[in-house]
Chain A
C-alpha cells in the first residue's frame, strides 16, 4: 500500500439527498462504489488524498434490477454478479451477461458496478460497449436536478465524460432490443480471464424482411482513447444487405475511421487488424449464407 491513509477520509451519507449535498463541496468528494478501480490506485499511491463518498450507505442506491416500460433499469450499485444472476437479463440482454462473466473473476464481479465502469471511463472498460450497443442511457443526479444522457454521447475524449463532479450516476436504463436482433460480443484480452481488453466488439444488428440492415450498432473497447461507437461504419452498412461487398466496404470504412492506440498492452497495428477481423466475423455470421452470430 503506497498511500498514506491518514490523508484520506470517507463520508458515509445516510440518504441520497445528503450525498448530493455533500457533492456540492469543492473539491467534490469522489464517489466510491465497488472500489475495484479506486483501490488499485490507492494501493499504487496514485489516488489523490482527500475526501471520498461512500455509496453503500445510501439506501436509495441499493435497489434491485427492474424492468420498466421495456427497459431494464440498473441502480448505482448494480454489480456484474447481479446482472449475471438475473434470468431476464440473460434472456433479453445477453451481451450484458457475456460481458459480466469475462470481467475480472468472481470477486470483482460481486463488487464492481456498471456505474463505476462507466464513470471510470477507461478505454478498456468491458461493461460499457454492450450497454452502448443496447442504446443505454445514464441518469445523472445532483442537488440541482436529474438529467439523462445517452451513453453514446457520454464520452468526448480520454477520461472526458459528460458527468459533472457534483453528479452521481443514479440509474442506467437499457432498452430491450428487438427479438430478431443479431447480437455479437467478443472480448480479445491478454488472456482468457482476469484480462484487460486489447480489442472488444459489441455489435447488434436488426435486419428487415428484405435482409437489409435496418439498424446496426458497433461499439469497440480498447482501440480508441474511449469506448468508441463506429458511427461511420454503421452509416455505410445501414440499408444494405450484409453480403461480401458490404462487408468489404464496412471493413474499409473501419480502417479509415479507427486511429488505434499503442500502449504496453498491445500495438496499434494489431488492434486495427483484429478490430477489422471481428467486424468481418460479426457481419459474415449474419450474412445471407451463414447462420447466427458465433456469440451473443
Chain B
C-alpha cells in the first residue's frame, strides 16, 4: 500500500539534475500550431473523401416536434442523408451501459420528438460538400408544438431546492454568531450564464474499418468519450478507436462529447464513408453546456478587529431539466477563511435552458466574485486594509475538517503581491485618484482552487536510436501537456528533450483522466514519472546484465542517466548504443499512479492573490484594466512558460467575467443573446493592460511524487473580484450584478451625484 510519505524520497523530477523541470521550454507542438499544420479533429485526413454533416438546432426551447418535412432538403444538390428522430438509426436508450464498467453511458442523438432546450440538435443533413450540406440544412422544415419556456431564473429562485444528495454544511451556530457580531455584512451578488467560447468549436470525423469505428473528436477526456460512443453505437468498447490529438481549448465544455461525434459515427456507418460533423460558432452557444447563472448571498459577521465570527455563502443556480449539475459556488469558501460559525450550501432549480456544466474553475470562478468583494466591503466597514483583513482570518488548519494544510502560502502570496504591486499607494477612500479623464483605483482578492490527483497509467519506450516515446491516453487542450510530459521523460531518463516523442489523445494508449479540474499535469505526470522510473530500472538491468556493456556486473541501483549516457561512475556508454546492441527491438515499461489513501489526511489547495488597477471613466461608466498582477503558490512548476500562460489566461477570463461576459436569456424564446463572438464579449487584446503572473517557489510533497499542483484554473479564481474591487476604489460604486457594464456603473455614478 502506497503512502504520501513515499513521496519524500528524491526522484529525478524533484532532483532536477539537468534543470529541465521548471524551465520555460517551448511547446512541443508549437511549430505545428503556429504553422497551421496541427491536424485538429476536423482537419485529420481520412482514408477516403469525407461527406459533411450539418446539424439543425431546434427553434423552440420546450415542446415537441409535431411534423417533419425533409423532402426539399433531401432533393437538394449533393445531399446523401437527412435524419431526424423519425429515421435516425436506432441507438440504446440514454444512459445505457451494456458494459457495466463503462465510464459513460449511451448518448443517443436525435433521440425523440421531445425538445428540452433551444438549439438542441434535431436534424442532420449529410452531403458531399459542406456548402451543400449547410444549404440543405436550411431546407429542413420542422413544425413544433411549443410549450412556454420556463427559463426565468430570478422568477424561479423561490422554487430552488437542495441539489440531490446534498446538505447545507453548518459548523457552530451561524445565526447566533451572525446576530452577536458587532460588524456585519449581508449582500447578494449575481453572475450570468457564460459560454466557453473555445477557439475550436466541437467537431468530429469518423470512419469505419470493418466493424471498428475510428473517431477523431475534440474532447478533454478520452476514456469516457470512447466508452460513451461505444455504448451509443451498441458495439464493443474496443471497437471504438477514439482520437483527440489536438484540441483548441476545452475549459470544461469538452469534458463530454456531443451529438457531432454520435452523428458522425452513425452517418459514417450508414453511408460507408468518412463523415465530418462540426458545431458552428452559433450552435456552440446552445448546443453545448454553459456555466449557469448564480445568485449568491454572502453574510459575514466580524469582531471589531476583523476576525470573522460568522461566515455564510449560499448559492442559487440552475441546470437543465434532465440534469443535476450544480455550480458549487459556495464550496471553495469552506477552506478559505477561519470563522467558528459557518454555513454554506446550494439551491438548484431546473429550467428549460441548455445543459449547465463545468467551466474553468467551476465554483471558484463564480463564488469568488461574491465572497472576495464581500471581504473588500467588510474591510472598508472595519477601516482595515483588505490584505490585512484576509491575513487576520488565515486559518491554522482547514477550518471545516481540522486537517493540516499540505502547503499553504496564501499569506505569502498576499504580502509579496502587495509589495510587488505597490499596494501601499492605494488610498482607502474611493474616488481620490485621477489620471486625465480616468478615475483610477486599486483592488485585490485572494485566490484558491482545489488540487486533485486521479489514477493514471503511462508507458515509456526507448528504441534503438535512443528515442524515448511517451504514450498516454491523455489530452492537451492547449495547456502544455505534450511539453511537460516530454520534460518529465527527458529529466527522468537523462536525455535531451529533442529525443523525446509524445503520443497522447488516443483511446488505445494507457488511460489517463484527461484534462479538467486542473488535475491533468499532476495525474498524468505522476504516471509518467512512474513509467520513467520503471524504464530506468529496465535499462539499468539491461546494461548491468549485458556482458558487452561496460556497465556489466555493476549494481543496477547505481546506474546514472545523463546526457543520453548510462554510467556507473567512469564506466559508460550511450543509451542508444546499449539498446541497439542489447535490445534492438527497444524496451517498454509501464507505470501507474493512484492517490494513496493517506493523502486525505491533508487539506490540499492551490492559492494566490490578485492585484488590479483599473481606470473608470466617470462620464460613461466605462472600465479599462490598466495593470494586473497575480502571485500564486501552486507547488513545483513544471514549465515556467506554459504555467504562466495558464495563469494569465485565467486572469484574463476573470477580467471578462467582471466586465463583459455573459449570455442574457430571452424569456420569450428560451434562447440566449450573444450567439457569436461579435456579441458575446470576451476580452480582446486592447482590454488587457500590463499583466503579470508570479509563481512562488513551492514544493508540495503531499500532493504527488513531483510536488506539483495544478495551475489551469487557479488564475481564474478571484481575478474578477480584484477588478470589481478596483472599480469601487476608483469611483465608489459597487455593482453586484455581473458583468459590470457601463450601463450599470453609470446608474451607480449618477445615483452618487457624479
- Binding partners A and B: no
**Residues of chain B whose beta carbon lies under 8 Å from any beta carbon of chain A:** none
**Residues of chain A whose beta carbon lies under 8 Å from any beta carbon of chain B:** none
